[in-house]
Structure 1
């Protein structure tokens, strides 16, 4: 079944992401560390000689200090100068994007978000697209993160907080990804706090998922 890899670089090789054209980064929930994990991924890919194109098509909870936004941090990791193409739709309310857009008197559609992502890029380049919230979280007026991932057709990475209960969340998300006909490239468990003594979610998941699993240490 699944395999546990000791470092992020090993996970990258085992998952095949380092040779892919791009990925869609999603999570089991909001606040699980997608952006932080994405920065590690981008850093590793650049060390391997890949040029990374980042897109965060929509971000809510947008703040005036742009350096605090997810989109800016991803662009920095990729060595890109931040511009409107990276995150063309952003709203101040820290809510699901369609609700945040509605409060701002605006709207956002799946077609708009998909159009914000390149459709053609060079073989040495890698497209990193980060969603908003969990795989089944609303991301547009007419769809979920799952719908955007399906439109883009990229392999999916699932990020989860490495805590008690995450196995259920990861397996549900993995099943949803596969039901959409998408490739699940791998799972990354992000230890945002110290793990409970005796807990080993990565090891336990291996018997249920046939993908590489990384358990990142507490940042």
Structure 2
């Protein structure tokens, strides 16, 4: 088991909670190479799962897309300078979605391709998720990334699930409820219910 790269169809949809649950389930280490905003997803995953977590390569204070947050900090992101830890299993979490810019030439998609782990796509069940999820799957396939599957977060929506599986040709591996409060106990329950990983 090598691990997974966790990406999403949007920001703030549950990538960090899914990453923490995968760390708990797989007894994996955690790595978020690029962090933007004042919060620390690395600290959150450590607190929830107890996983060993590598520090981010880049951490910028502004809650913006990576290229904008880096620019505001007077810095730049060079994906080729991001060295992925060799420790396995490893869960790597992206920032934002696959098409978010890292700099003037590179997207998050380029970093996902560079890292080479199977991809887990986290998608909400809100209206619009079919389009967002299918576009994300298409972008990943166009550059040859291996997609492991999709995790739905929110109220169950069998119509969007069926459409994503049919048109996206990938299984929705797990339906995770939106948790009003994320605790280690709640995460333990979620991790125990996750299948297909």
TM bucket, shorter chain: 0.7 to 0.9
**Cα contact 2:24–2:50 (8 A) shared by 1:** no
* 2:152 counterpart residue number: 189
Q: For 1:171-182, what aligned pairs fall within 5 Å after superposition?
A: 171-182=134-145
| Alignment pair present for 1:57 and 2:28 | no
* 1:158 counterpart residue number: 121
TM-score (norm 1): 0.74
Gapped regions of structure 1 (runs ≥ 5): 1-19, 47-51
Larger radius of gyration, structure 1 or 2? 1
The verdict on how the C-alpha distance between 1:25 and 1:40 changes in structure 2, with shifts beyond 3 A counting, is same
User: Partners of 2:33 and 2:114 in 1: how far apart?
Assistant: 13
| Alignment pair present for 1:129 and 2:125 | no
How far did 1:140 drift? 4.1
TM-score (norm 2): 0.82
If asked which structure has higher relative contact order (CA below 8 Å, sep 6+), I would say 1
Question: How many pairs does the alignment contain?
Answer: 178
How far did 1:142 drift? 3.7
* 2:71 counterpart residue number: 102
Q: After superposition, give the CA deviation of every residue in 1:103-148 in whole Å (9 maximum; x if it has no partner).
A: 11122211123x2x12x33xxx311111110011113454111000
* 1:146 counterpart residue number: 109
1:212 maps to which of 171, 178, 196: 171
The verdict on how the C-alpha distance between 1:109 and 1:142 changes in structure 2, with shifts beyond 3 A counting, is farther
The verdict on how the C-alpha distance between 1:166 and 1:153 changes in structure 2, with shifts beyond 3 A counting, is same
* 2:44 counterpart residue number: 73
* 1:38 counterpart residue number: 19
Q: After superposition, give the CA deviation of every residue in 1:17-47 in whole Å (9 maximum; x if it has no partner).
A: xxx301111111212211011112222212x
Gapped regions of structure 2 (runs ≥ 5): 180-197
**Cα contact 1:157–1:185 (8 A) shared by 2:** yes
